[in-house]
Structure 1
Amino acid sequence: MVSRGFGLLGRSTLPEGAGLIIRPCNSVITFFMRFPIDVLFVDAHGQVVHLIHALRPWRTSKMVRGSKYVVELPAGVLRATETALGDAIEIVPA
């Protein structure tokens, strides 16, 4: 398990099919990261309330009202899966 404070810091990539769920969370900071990520902001009902494509290192997102957790994914996943605002997200334990 990756701690919330360190997230993806120190990693050189995020493997295909992998992601990081951070909760509670309503904003993202990519300081010290080495690669861009796609970001989903999800409310308490599992609905996508905001998304960011390929957020680059050394950036911050806005604070997203209503977001209860964030899913960080490899850049390109949101476009490949055609994920959109309002989509329902189900987190299934591995």
Structure 2
Amino acid sequence: MSLENITRGTVLAENVVTLNASFTKTLELMRSKGFPGGYALWINPCKTIYTSGMREAVDIIFIDKDAKVIKVFKSLPPFCIAQSTKEAVSALELRRNTIERTRTRIGDKLRIKLY
């Protein structure tokens, strides 16, 4: 799976790992020496992210049922909390600076593309 910003025509991640389907792979990502470039962690359902246990800052995007960006956290450091609004249905954790690099903004439409 890949993660695309349809509004901006950019790719946020070439590989998307789901928390509910790939728990072992998710643990490997979180225990690694940092969040790998090109990867996103899709947590569904999710309204709050706790970055305890993370080794470095991450970008977080909350999306609604239509995959519209409703809240972003840029470079959220370890041991912090990111809480979204009631409209959030899932969250995406990405490598730090992905939001800035892809110019992703609130209101943008995302697509998780299956291969």
- Please, what TM-score do these two structures have when normalized by structure 1? 0.89
Q: Give the equivalent residue in structure 1 for 2:32.
A: 11
Structure 2 gaps of 5+ residues are 1-21
**Seq. identity, %:** 25
Q: Give the equivalent residue in structure 1 for 2:70.
A: 49
**Structure 1 segments of 4+ aligned residues over 6 angstroms from their partners:** none
AA paired with 1:29? Y
Calculate the aligned-residue CA RMSD, in Å. Answer: 1.9
Aligned length: 93
- Please, what TM-score do these two structures have when normalized by structure 2? 0.73
Q: Deviations over 1:16-40 (max 9, x none)?
A: 1111000000110001110110000
Structure 1 gaps of 5+ residues are none
Q: Deviations over 1:29-68 (max 9, x none)?
A: 0011101100000000110000000010000112422111
Change in 2 beyond 3 A, CA 1:64/1:8: farther
Change in 2 beyond 3 A, CA 1:7/1:68: farther
AA paired with 2:113? V
